[in-house]
């Protein structure tokens, strides 16, 4: 069993990358962050970051995967050897594996909430319920470790089974059904929102750009969201890139992934806010927007149980196609490095991540306070794990941009990108300077959330160190240009 195979079709990488990118980030996180941060202005910054930073790093990460044709860890080991660079760059692979493991642990718990709501919608138990009942229902869900664990377990097993079946039978065929179904259902919900909600108010809210509405916090949230939503800096895209056909165009594919991902977020935003404004609800609900506010809208509308059920199935499909991309890089590594079979590798990753997920489960109830995490970091285990990934992802993106920008030769990049000198120069300028600077900005800003100054200082040193490493270890190659 080899993991070094190639997707069956030239276009499958696009499908897989879109599957990875489109997830809870688009349907749940994007609308609530937009709602909290004043609408249009947030979207403007988000879109600018996607195009100036997201796409160049997306190209860089895919390039590293396709160039090495191995899992991120083994692939980076190969690249450091063939490019005569320090083995420290292998940390890109390890950091990615660590983030994948951490993200999967809580992503699965949150996706599990969608199982709960799918069930509640389809059985009609929320039909006609008032706001208070629905809010209390959400609180009751969070208060139950048993329910949360059940849903978390179901979700992670489903994701694991798909990856265990391999990239062709499992991931490819799964995506081929899931992605188109997802778009159809999303359009259906949008159609319903247009017909029955307040589409005009939603469009005004999302597309009236008043930059003065945006706080510094909002700027940073918009940039952070653009990394999370494109699945950058984690090795997920690198692992999928390793299976990408050599003929497929990198640049065009990256632009298409970013375009589809952004389009899905926009359509989700329009659909959700049409329903929210139509029901006279407030957009700035925070994380509860999808899981509390939408069921309220669904409870009031005719056919709400059906539309709501379909909507939460869509959320589940999007979350599964993202979570399989979190399992794949680690599983592929275990297969390559330890000669495990694919099912063994997937089981190892999934069981470990499932166990860690239990920490997230109890963070909402029995250990909502008073744990060692609160004592040491002033936050619950879940918030701490999420914070770690918020640091690891931009750091991974930064290192990927630096490695691709400085270590790969002109010829290698041109072979991958097959583009004009002008586009090459623009891309290289973006990954060498613009993307690292932007990431450093987000990175540094995300850290002071931990109180005190020690960690920001360490963060600054790490970033300066990364730049220094880029220059020092890669000097041979930068001279070739």
Residue nearer to ligand PFF on the CB measure, 15 or 305: 15
Residue among 232, 250, 227 at smallest CA distance from 13: 250
Residue nearer to ligand PFF on the CB measure, 258 or 270: 258
Residue nearer to ligand PFF on the CB measure, 103 or 167: 103
Tokens of 30: 């994007």
Task: Name the one residue in this structure whose structure tokens are 């069956």.
Answer: 8
Residues 201-230 close enough to bind ligand PFF by CB under 6 A: 228-229
- Give the side-chain half-sphere CA count within 13 A for 395: 28
Residue nearer to ligand PFF on the CB measure, 228 or 382: 228
Q: For residues 322 and 91, what is the distance between their CA atoms, to the nearest angstrom?
A: 23
Q: Which residues of 18-36 are buried (b: 16+ CB within 10 A; e: fewer)?
A: bbbbbbbbbbbbbbbbbbb
Long-range contacts of 164-169 (CB under 8 A, 24+ apart): 164/342, 164/343, 164/346, 164/347, 166/1, 166/342, 167/3, 167/5, 167/7, 167/243, 167/328, 168/5, 168/8
Residues 303-322 close enough to bind ligand PFF by CB under 6 A: 322
Tokens of 320: 């599964």
3-state class percentages of the chain: helix first, strand second, coil last, to nearest 5: 80, 0, 20
Question: DSSP letters along 314-350, please?
Answer: HHHHHHHHHHHHHHHHHHHHHHHHH---HHHHHHHHH
Residues 93-122 close enough to bind ligand PFF by CB under 6 A: 100, 103
Q: For residues 199 and 41, what is the distance between their CA atoms, to the nearest angstrom?
A: 19
Residue nearer to ligand PFF on the CB measure, 33 or 236: 236
State in angstroms the smallest separation of the CB of 156 from ligand PFF: 14
Q: From the CB of residue 314, how many other CB atoms can be counted at a distance below 10 Å?
A: 24
State in angstroms the smallest separation of the CB of 161 from ligand PFF: 18
Binding-site size for ligand PFF (CB under 6 A) equals: 16
List the one residue from 3, 20, 67, 251 that touches ligand PFF (CB under 6 A). 20
Residue nearer to ligand PFF on the CB measure, 29 or 432: 29
State in angstroms the smallest separation of the CB of 203 from ligand PFF: 23
Residue nearer to ligand PFF on the CB measure, 90 or 328: 328
21 touches ligand PFF (CB under 6 A): yes
State in angstroms the smallest separation of the CB of 29 from ligand PFF: 7
Residue nearer to ligand PFF on the CB measure, 100 or 408: 100
- Is 203 exposed, middle or buried, given 0-12, 13-18 or 19+ CB atoms closer than 10 A? middle
163 touches ligand PFF (CB under 6 A): no
Choices 18-26, 43-51, 79-87, 119-127 (CB under 6 A): range interacting with ligand PFF: 18-26
Q: Say if residues 470 and 88 touch (Cβ distance below 8 Å).
A: no
Counted residue by residue, the chain has a size of: 481
Residue among 90, 62, 56, 63 at smallest CA distance from 76: 90
Residue nearer to ligand PFF on the CB measure, 278 or 329: 329
- Contact flags string 22-41 toward ligand PFF, x per CB under 6 A: -xxxx---------------
Element (H, E) at 311: helix 304-338
240 touches ligand PFF (CB under 6 A): no
Residue nearer to ligand PFF on the CB measure, 59 or 236: 236
Q: For residues 307 and 299, what is the distance between their CA atoms, to the nearest angstrom?
A: 10
CA 393 to chain centre: 9
Q: Which residue is nearest to ligand PFF (CB)?
A: 25
236 touches ligand PFF (CB under 6 A): yes
List the one residue from 226, 231, 321, 380 that touches ligand PFF (CB under 6 A). 231
List the one residue from 325, 353, 380, 390 that touches ligand PFF (CB under 6 A). 325
State in angstroms the smallest separation of the CB of 114 from ligand PFF: 12
Q: For residues 76 and 431, what is the distance between their CA atoms, to the nearest angstrom?
A: 18
Residue nearer to ligand PFF on the CB measure, 25 or 54: 25
474 touches ligand PFF (CB under 6 A): no
Q: For residues 302 and 396, what is the distance between their CA atoms, to the nearest angstrom?
A: 46
Contact positions vs ligand PFF (CB under 6 A): 20-21, 23-26, 100, 103, 228-229, 231, 234, 236, 322, 325-326
């Amino acid at each position: 069993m080899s993991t070094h195979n190639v997707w069956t079709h030239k276009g499958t990488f696009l499908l897989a990358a879109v599957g990875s990118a489109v997830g809870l980030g688009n349907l749940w996180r994007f609308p609530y962050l937009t709602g909290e941060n004043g609408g249009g202005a947030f979207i403007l910054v988000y879109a600018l970051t996607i195009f100036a930073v997201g796409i160049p790093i997306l190209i860089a990460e895919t390039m590293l995967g396709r160039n090495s044709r191995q899992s991120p860890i083994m692939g980076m080991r190969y690249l450091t050897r063939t490019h005569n660079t320090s083995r420290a760059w292998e940390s890109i692979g390890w950091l990615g594996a660590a983030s994948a493991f951490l993200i999967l642990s809580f992503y699965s718990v949150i996706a599990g909430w969608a199982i709960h709501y799918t069930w509640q919608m389809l059985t009609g138990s929320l039909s006609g319920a008032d706001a208070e009942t629905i809010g209390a229902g959400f609180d009751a869900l969070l208060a139950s470790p048993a329910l949360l664990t059940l849903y978390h377990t179901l979700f992670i097993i489903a994701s694991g089974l798909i990856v265990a079946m391999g990239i062709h039978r499992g991931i490819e065929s799964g995506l081929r059904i899931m992605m188109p179904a997802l778009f159809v259902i999303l359009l259906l919900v949008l159609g319903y929102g247009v017909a029955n909600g307040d589409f005009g108010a939603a469009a005004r809210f999302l597309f009236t750009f008043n930059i003065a509405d945006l706080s510094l916090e909002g700027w940073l949230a918009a940039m952070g969201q653009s990394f999370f939503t494109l699945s950058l800096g984690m090795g997920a895209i690198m692992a999928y890139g390793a299976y990408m056909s050599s003929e497929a165009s990198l640049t065009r594919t990256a632009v298409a992934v970013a375009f589809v991902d952004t389009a899905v977020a926009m359509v989700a935003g329009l659909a959700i806010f049409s329903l929210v404004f139509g029901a006279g609800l407030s957009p700035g609900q925070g994380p509860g927007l999808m899981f509390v506010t939408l069921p309220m809208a669904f409870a009031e509308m005719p056919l709400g149980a059906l539309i709501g059920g379909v909507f939460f199935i869509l959320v589940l499909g999007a979350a599964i196609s993202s979570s399989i991309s979190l399992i794949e890089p680690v599983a592929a590594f275990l297969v390559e490095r330890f000669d495990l079979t694919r099912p063994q590798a997937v089981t190892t990753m999934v069981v470990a991540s499932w166990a860690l997920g239990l920490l997230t489960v109890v963070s909402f109830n029995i250990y909502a306070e008073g744990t060692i995490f609160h004592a040491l970091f002033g936050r619950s285990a879940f918030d701490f794990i999420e914070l770690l990934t918020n640091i690891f992802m931009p750091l991974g993106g930064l290192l990927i941009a630096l490695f691709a920008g400085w270590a790969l030769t002109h010829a290698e990049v041109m072979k991958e990108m097959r583009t004009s000198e002008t586009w090459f120069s623009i891309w290289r300028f973006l990954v060498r300077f613009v993307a690292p600077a932007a990431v450093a900005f987000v990175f540094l800003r995300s850290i002071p959330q931990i109180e005190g100054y020690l960690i920001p200082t360490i963060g600054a040193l790490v970033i300066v160190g990364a730049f220094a490493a880029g220059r020092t270890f890669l000097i041979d190659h930068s001279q070739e240009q």
